[in-house]
Structure 1
Amino acid sequence: LGQLHRAGWVHGDLKPANVLLMADGSARLADFNMAAELEGTHGYTPAFSTPDYTPPELLWAEIGERGRPIRPSADIWAFGVLAHLLLTGSFPLPGGTPSARRDAAVAYARGTEELRLAAELPDAWREIVRDCLARTHADRIGTGALLRRVTAAAGTGRAPRLPRLARPGRRRSRTTVLALAAAALAALLGYGLDHRHSGDDGKALARYGAAELRTDRGVPVRYRRLIVDAAHRCSRPDVSPALIAAMLKAESGFDADLADPGTREYGIARWTPAVLRWWMRDDGIPAAATPTPPLTPAVSIPAMGRYLCFIDAHMRADLPGDRRLLDAAAYRTSYKKVDAAGGIPAEYRAYCAKVARGLARYTP
């Protein structure tokens, strides 16, 4: 992380799933899909990140044409959360769900909530975590100072000398840096960039995201990573792995080969190809051509996550009822129709009841 910041980049999605433990005991930072190159004090990143590791100022940040502005201090906050979780097994802000912890983070930033640091956190790390989780980005510890204090607290000797990732005056383009990172990660993990996870049914995949999605209630293991990652790319706490799994169950019963020509809906998420075209890509630019069936889970599930994220951000905040079920109803119709109805329209209540049963079944 120190090397990345020194080279003028922000990771943007630091969390346990993006830290790889190597056979020699070292740790490697992975997944640079949200990385942003700094332009002065800020970079710009898509509006997708994992809520538990997102600093409070980004939870309400405006999204401009270039995305959401982000500073290195966002990675510092995420490091503090990650360190607390690793050392104690708990989050530093109260709440039994990502949504509750999101609200606690906002209250903390406003001065009405305090950190709840675990008693077993060693004193040196307690101060490090506190300085990482300062209420404002300006009060957080800098990366260089953090590296020195972590090195001392971990007892690993002096901080390593950080190599330059790019020569002065010859900074690599975003495309080059991300391509190099992706290629290195693919080689490290032993599968190509076109890997779809569908054949990986080992024990590790069966446990993937187990804290957010029940592993024993019928979610096909080959779709687990796609479901969890689709939810994690959205900063909206109600767009969870359990919601996406419950909706896939209600839409198709996890049938990747579903075909309903009468409604022109296909695949595991019942996409209409003309609509799917708009949600196939991370940057919001529609595909050049409308996709043709079969619509694979590798395309359909991430697109469902993006669309739900859009729905949740645009639907009225004052609607009564379970926000997750309102999102599900809007997926079937539109958020404008849910807004106009003041809740779940009558014709979609049976569908939302199915989603509710799935949520109860798949939520840990």
Structure 2
Amino acid sequence: MPDPVLQVEDLSISFTTGETTFDVVRDLSVTLDGGRTLAVVGESGSGKTITGRAIMRLLPRGAGARGRIVVAGRDMLAADERELRRARGADVAMVFQDSMSALSPYLDIGAHIAQAVRLHDPSVSRRAARARGVEMLERVGIPEPADAVRRFPHEFSGGMRQRAVIAMALVNRPALLIADEPTTALDVTVQAQILALLRELQQEYGMAMLLISHDFGVVASAADDVLVLYAGREAEYGSLRDVFEAPAHPYTAGLRAATPRLDARLDTGGERTRLRAIPGAPTSLRDAGPGCAFAPRCGLAGQVGERCVVEVPLRSRRTSGTTGGAHRAACHLDRLPSSGEIAR
């Protein structure tokens, strides 16, 4: 069996402000094979985007990572700046959340893609690099690509800019693509087109994809496996089918219950039942107590005594997945009630 494209072992990410240092991601371990998509799901502040940036070694000032990150056989945390420049774009590329801010307003679209080509192969001429740009724009479905390469980002719609960013990320055919909320602020039709495009290119190139999202609808249409993060820790990990059909962590069950559904049951008055929101606010990572971070918002906390508020599950336990694969949940409960209340 070939080695996984991505191996993350005991990853912790910390921020230092003044004399205070606190972890925003703790003890995260995942693997991802070529041709598969792992969706990372959670509320804002759960650690999704910062994990993607840590894989790229693009952490902001004051942040640091410890543990091990291996992409296509390259140890990213041990790599020097020269190795990182070689890896970014060739081994691993990233589609950032805001396509407008990811593109320079001073460069046309062709220059963006040509720059990505020539940074990794200076022997390629500017003309040949721009020709590659035309090919990639055509590949991602931008009409009249020979004309489009001369346009500037502000001349593109949001969907076209997102396609251009995808073209720039994939022009060197990386082994791993990190897509950070790639459909944010796009209407549902364009969103479906972008997701279909990513799946098509993934199959064509055989690359692994780390999809960062808060939208379970996007995850359901694109992922093979799902990693649920809460307060910087793994809450649940498993196949898409296991996590959706048999969530094993109260937080995952809460997210699923808060997702709008077309087949939602009507009440006796003919109105659709209201969504069940998870009460409270996400736990402050600075003020997290010694127990499970989700305990203050969990309606099942206390069913195993005081363990929920005084003890964090040291390792995610393995549960029996419906697909026969690994299904982990960081919860003290052996199983969730089939119809129990999961939020206070």
Which structure shows the higher helix fraction? 1
TM-score scaled by length of structure 1: 0.32
**Structure showing greater relative contact order (alpha-carbon pairs closer than 8 Å, 6 or more residues apart):** 2
TM-score by length of 2: 0.33
Greater percentage in strand: 2
